[in-house]
Structures are given as C-alpha cells and as structure tokens.
Amino acid sequence: MREPKRPDPNRADDEDEDEARREALSTSEQGSPNTLVVGLDCRSMNLYRFLRVRFPKLPHGELRRWIADGRVSVNGTPIDDSRPLRFGDVVDIEADVTRLPRRRPPAALTVLYRDSSVVAVDKASGIATAAERSLRKPHLLGLLKEAQPDASVKLAHRIDKQASGVVLFALGREAKQALQEQFSQRQVAKDYLALVTGHVEDEPLTIDEPLTPRLGRVQKMVITPGRGKPATTIVRGLVRFRGYTLVHARPITGRTHQIRAHLRHLGHPIVGDAVYGGEEQLWLSGLKLDYRRARGESERPLLARLALHAYRIRFRSPATGELVTCVSRLPKDLRSALKQLQKTAATRIVPDFDRLLDDPIPGDPA
C-alpha cells in the first residue's frame, strides 16, 4: 500500500487537507476489488455504511448478509457494523463484489386510455403514484417514464398508495396545465368505490366539511368547522351487508384524504383505514359464525389493505377536447372480499352479483 504523501509545510492548511483527501480517496480504492483501505472520506463510518458507499449498486440486504455471515473482516478480524472504522483500516470481503444484481423488469402497466396529451393508468394497491420521500421503491410515475422514455410524462393527479384505480398523467407541460385547469374548475368527475363499516343509505348525501392537516408522525386530515380548506363529497350506499356497505363516493373538491376523512366524519370509516378509525383487516372469522380453522393453519385476512378504489374518471382530452371516460374494474382482492360478504353477511341475496360488480355505478348521485 502506498503511503500517503507528507503535507508540505509551505502550503496552506486547506490545500493540505484537500491533498490528503484526494490521497485518501485514491488509497481506499487500491488493491483487488475485495480489499479496500479506509480513507479519510470514510473514517468514522460503520462497516455497513462503508460498504454502501463503496458498492452503491448492490442490494443493501446483501451487504448486511455479508456482515452477518462473517464474510467481511477488518484488519483480518470479522466484526459487526457497530465499531466506527479508522483511517487506514483494511477491509477484506469474501464475496463476489463485481456481480451486479439483475435488474427487475418494470411492473406491468395497464393503460386504460392514451392520446397525444394524456395517459390513464390502472394503479394497483401498494404502489405509490409518485416518488416517496427517502424511499427508492418503484412508483407509477417512474415506471411510466421508464416505459416511455421519449415522452414528457407529468403527474396530473394522484390517489393514495394503498388505494387502487385510475390515475391520470399528462404528456407535456401544456397538457398538464390544461388538466389542472379542469381539476381546479371542478370539471373532472371522479367516482370512487369504498367498503365501509355500518349501513349507508341509498339516497345521496352531501358532506360539506372543511379539512385541515394535523401535524404529527402520521399524515391526517381533520374536520375543522369555520376554518380549513372547503371540501365537499357526495356519498350514497350501493350494496349493504351485515355490518358493512359498499358505497359510491364522488369528491367535488380534491383535498388530501378527503373521502377517508369525510366517511370517518359520517361514522363509516373505510375498511383497512386504521388512520381514520377503520378496521385494519377484514376476516372471514368475523363474518362467518360457524367459522372453524383447520388444525395447523393460520387464518389469512379476506382484505388487508385500504378498501378504496378509483373506479371512474371523466375529463376532456387536452388534445381533442372530447369527453373521455376511463373505468377501472374492481380488482381481484376487492371482488373476492365482496363476494364473501355476499355469501356470509348479505342483508339480501343479489342473484347477479358478479354482473353488479362489473358495473357497480350504473348512475350518478344527484
């Protein structure tokens, strides 16, 4: 290993530090790929952080496994990642550090509509619409940009990560401005389906309650009469079960968590919405009185996510000016949960229930 150059006493202190840093950086990259020397840039780091800096393209979990399996040693001794590294420590790795992980193919994108100005995508539950802070997980906007690298894809609106359904993306700045104008003028009709607790009547009910964000670890909107941003939602019941209702919700305004907060205000939180007082999961044992679990088997929930689905959106295409309607059919998990409710908790048996699920909103609220 080459010794770091001695500082020149005739040079300024900052120049000495710069030279030492450059020397440390070059020193830490000497030797074989499996032998690294800790430079000034990495001193005081723990071992895991050091490996992340040196191998940014390798999965973080694999780096932790190297340490846990004792395949990483410092100065000839395997250590955990708690001790801070020192300048000049020699790190040896008994693993293939040159192997790059196979790149996962982008998740399938289901495009519901596309023209030269807009793309409507069917979002699955669990994937964010856009990038989340401090997380590098896939998101719908990134996947769409990856699938269409030559297009200027821009987010027109978003839905909650745990929700599913239609999401609009604009193609270009002018198209985004045109869509945002329609949203601000309340010219876009958005229809949602939600499974809530309790019985909701068939007659449309207008909820006109302002919302204000509540500061805290978990983002939440609260009803604030007399202040906050105006928020209006129209709600009506579609199908009632014992203890639950499938409802149709149309937000007239577009506030964050608006439907979730308004349904909580009505006393009918959405299933899977623990933030707003809903049941965290839907269980068959809670619906079927004679439920018996097989020996040695654990019960799986019928539904383990936010039971909110962006079913339909209607807007005018910025390119053609024509009225466009995009529909996202109920996904498999929600269909299965609703069918089980029909079997075990129906207040009335609907003979063509499958057909009802294909077109749950034949009309609009008043």
d(CA 249, CA 266): 13
3-state helix, strand, coil in the chain (%, to 5): 25, 25, 50
Rounded CA separation 218/271 (Å)? 18
Q: Write the CA distances from 250 to 98, 104, 194, 207, integer angstroms.
A: 53, 37, 11, 10
Q: Which is the catalytic residue, given 81, 160, 191, 273?
A: 160
Question: Among candidates 212, 193, 184, 220, which has minimal Cα distance to 309?
Answer: 193
Q: How far is CA 337 from CA 270, 286, 314, 340, in A?
A: 14, 13, 27, 5
Q: What is the per-residue DSSP string for 91-129?
A: EEE-S-TTPPPPPPPPPP-EEEEE-SSEEEEEEPTTSBS
359 is catalytic: no
Show which residues are catalytic.
Answer: 160
